[in-house]
Amino acid sequence: MEKMGFVRVEVLGEQTTLDKRRLRLYPLFTEEFLDWLFDQFGGESPIYTVHLRGMKPSP
């Protein structure tokens, strides 16, 4: 983001793990798919969600 010109780039709030319990909420995924996915991960999710903010500088 900084390379594109944004300033004051920061992570906001806390990171949250996208674990199986959370992913079950989404209608995009079947239980069978989630079982397969977490088998690939060895049972532990390496995926997190974050919030990021960047500002376009004022002149």
Partner 1 sequence: MADEQSMEPALRWSDQEAARIIRESYGAVVPGGSTGVADSLYTAEELAPLPAPVREMALGLGNPVRYADPRPGETVLDLGSGGGIDTLLSAVRVGPSGHAIGIDITEAMLEKARGHAAMMGLQNVEFTYGNMESLPLTDKSVDVVISNGVINLSTKKGQVFRECFRVLRPGGRLVFADSVINGCLPKEVLDSEAAYAG
43 near partner 1, rule: CB under 8 A = no
Question: DSSP assignment, residue 25?
Answer: T
Task: Sketch the per residue contact string, 8 through 37, with partner 1: x for CB under 8 A, - otherwise.
Answer: -x--xx-xx-x---xx-xxxxx---x---x
Provide the minimum distance between the beta carbon of 20 and partner 1 in the complex, in angstroms, as a whole number: 12
4, 5, 23, 36, 46 from 41: Cα distances, Å: 33, 36, 14, 9, 7
Name the maximum alpha-carbon separation found in the chain.
53
* Amino acid code (one letter) for 32: E
Binding site for partner 1 (CB under 8 A): 1-6, 9, 12-13, 15-16, 18, 22-23, 25-29, 33, 37, 40-41, 46-59
